[in-house]
Structure 1
Amino acid sequence: MTVPVLSVVVPAYNNGRTLAETLESVLEQRVDGLELIVADHASSDDTAEVMRGFADDPRVTLLDTPAGGGAGRNWNRVTEAATGEYIKLVCGDDVLRPGVLARQLEILRSTGAVLTACRRDVVDADGRTLMAGWGLRGLDERMPGRDAVRKAVRAGSNLFGEPASVMMRREALAETGGWFDRFPYLIDQATYSRVLLRGDFVPDPEVGATFRMSATQWSVALVREQSGQARAFHAWLRAEHPEVLSATDVRVGDLRAAAMARARRLSYRLLERRMR
């Protein structure tokens, strides 16, 4: 049996409508040493049935995650089952673009960086593009991870994107304790930040993923709390790593996070109106 090089992990929850497209977008990638791990987090729809349709592919491992624990429980469930040297998490309603896995593998292998991220298209529940080529603002060149972390904090925004945009070294993620969900809305950015303190960031400038924006996503339910969670994360990171963030970095980031929260609330309202 081929030793996995890359683990793509999918924490699924009530993704029956979109999961097949997500998994196909992974399995159609031309990359050797791929393993795909999918876990259903006690879904109430047909997610588990959709998963079983992929059971015969030897690259696929299917798991169950008991109810409770929020996103962090399922994200860590699939991640802890991974065995590849590199890892990418893809939520059960997002899609990978052709070639992204091979391209990001080569970036990490050739540079020795701990994390790379690509641009993504943001679409609505029906796949219509809302924002094209989104992400990586100010992250257009190789840099020490701490510099990338600081830029994201000062922007008050997750410049790296959702997990489908990101590929990491699995060992670096494991050594930091996996997905860090103390600040649930920022589980992705907070985790990237801890990984990036262990090495360099190198961007993947291509559009490599599609992020589906839906009024039913857990991120929408937390939209009123996002600026508060961002402030708490900035304060935590400053306290843990004062050599990375200054007090000014935190003040600037807090102000911009509040502005971003207002802008995101407006975008969700427009999305809800568009979907009626």
Structure 2
Amino acid sequence: MTILTQALHLKDLPPPPSDKTGWPWDLEINLLNQVVDPEQLPLITIVTPSYNQGQFLEETIRSILLQGYPNLEYIIIDGGSDDNTLEIIRQYEPFLAYWISEPDGGQSEALNKGFKRATGELIGWQNSDDTYAPHALWYAANAYLNNPAADVIYGEVHHIDEQDNFIKKYPVIEATVENMIPYSSVSNHSVFYHRKIFENQQWINSELKHCMDQEFHLRLLLKGYQFTYEPRIIGYWRIHEQAKSTRQLEVWSKEAFQLCKSLYQQSDLEPKIRQKAKDCLYGFCLDNFSKGRVENFHETVREIIQLFGLQGLTFSIMVKYLISLVGSENLSRLLALKNRWKNLPQNQ
């Protein structure tokens, strides 16, 4: 097991590819020793779940190792990649506390494997196609030391593209139960957990394929864990065609609907939270129709009937349900015609 007890520099790592420049390739960041007494720094563990993201993995690894943080444990759990992932991992093996590559049940299972091996006081999770901004670990440590009651520390998230160009900010807002639906108000890309969360047997729900971080954070809030915001922590969330978040919007929709349903069914929650959850259920139902997801739409209609009875169906949903009976292919054609008609110039 390798725990890094000294800050790493560019000269310590394998040289970057010749066509890569900037952070975290050939840019040496200023260390922030003056922010915190080095002897007080908590051990930080970062877990990276990985599967066939060799195109981006090296950048992820370097953005963690080059934080200049002198008390770091880094774990990579790979799901049996068959691209160049293992070649990259072996290049950086001397700096890893642990890594494994074997088939698994997906990202959630990989995360739990890593969290069970983590020994840090603070534990972060960064995906194999995403990165940290410089100093993120230092700012997390500083926030932890200044807020001893904090169980979860979270920061800002920026969307970037395949070439690391800034796209937009993710809308991070205060971590509350109400703000956790329909979209997560915080994102794993800039979150650090106190190890007691895992000692208390709070793990990622391995049945979820997309909303695992949203459900995890919602569960922690419902159980009373304290969240602390540190705006200087920035995680970069990469948007690209092969990203799971891009490919699995339908899966996300199903899982997010169930999260809202579970909140609505908790009768001890504030009425405004339950009302928002109810509104989100209807919102997901209508969104499924507008996106041409007939199977999802029918499923959410059935769920709404189970929850609220037939009287719970609005006139709009009933009309859309009748239209949806034409089938997915024909519905897609109708929606395309509708959009085309909407986009026609007014004088035509």
Partner of 1:251: 278
Counterpart mapping for 1:1-276 below 5 A: 5-57=43-95, 60-111=96-147, 112-131=149-168, 133-137=169-173, 139=174, 148-153=176-181, 156-161=182-187, 163-196=188-221, 197-206=223-232, 208-239=234-265, 242-243=268-269, 246-255=273-282
Q: Which amino acid aligns with 2:177?
A: V
Q: Which structure has more strand as a fraction of its residues?
A: 1
Given that residues 77 and 101 in structure 2 are in contact (C-alpha distance below 8 angstroms), is that contact kept between their aligned partners in structure 1?
yes
Given that residues 124 and 130 in structure 1 are in contact (C-alpha distance below 8 angstroms), is that contact kept between their aligned partners in structure 2?
yes
Given that residues 69 and 138 in structure 2 are in contact (C-alpha distance below 8 angstroms), is that contact kept between their aligned partners in structure 1?
yes
- 1:172-206 CA distances to partner (integer Å, 9 max, x unpaired)? 14424311233322101111122233322221223
Given that residues 22 and 96 in structure 1 are in contact (C-alpha distance below 8 angstroms), is that contact kept between their aligned partners in structure 2?
yes
- 1:28-79 CA distances to partner (integer Å, 9 max, x unpaired)? 113232101112210010111101111122xx12322431312111111111
Q: 1:237 to 1:109 in 2, by over 3 A?
A: farther
Given that residues 173 and 195 in structure 1 are in contact (C-alpha distance below 8 angstroms), is that contact kept between their aligned partners in structure 2?
no
> What is the number of residues matched between the two proteins?
250
Q: 1:40 to 1:201 in 2, by over 3 A?
A: same
TM-score for the superposition, normalised by structure 1:
0.80
Unmatched runs of 5 consecutive residues or more in structure 1? 140-144, 266-276
Equivalent position SS for 2:156: strand
Q: 1:213 and 1:191 mapped to 2: Cα distance? A: 22
Given that residues 78 and 100 in structure 2 are in contact (C-alpha distance below 8 angstroms), is that contact kept between their aligned partners in structure 1?
yes
Task: State percent identity of aligned pairs.
Answer: 21
- 1:88-147 CA distances to partner (integer Å, 9 max, x unpaired)? 00001111111111111221332221112211220122222221x32323x1xxxxx6xx
Q: Which has the higher contact order (CA 8 A, sep 6+)?
A: 1
Alpha-carbon shift at residue 247 of structure 1 (Å): 2.7
TM-score for the superposition, normalised by structure 2:
0.65
Q: 1:215 and 1:175 mapped to 2: Cα distance? A: 37
Given that residues 81 and 101 in structure 2 are in contact (C-alpha distance below 8 angstroms), is that contact kept between their aligned partners in structure 1?
no
Partner of 2:8: none
Aligned Cα root-mean-square deviation (Å):
2.7
Alpha-carbon shift at residue 207 of structure 1 (Å): 5.5
Q: 1:232 to 1:250 in 2, by over 3 A?
A: same
Equivalent position SS for 2:210: helix
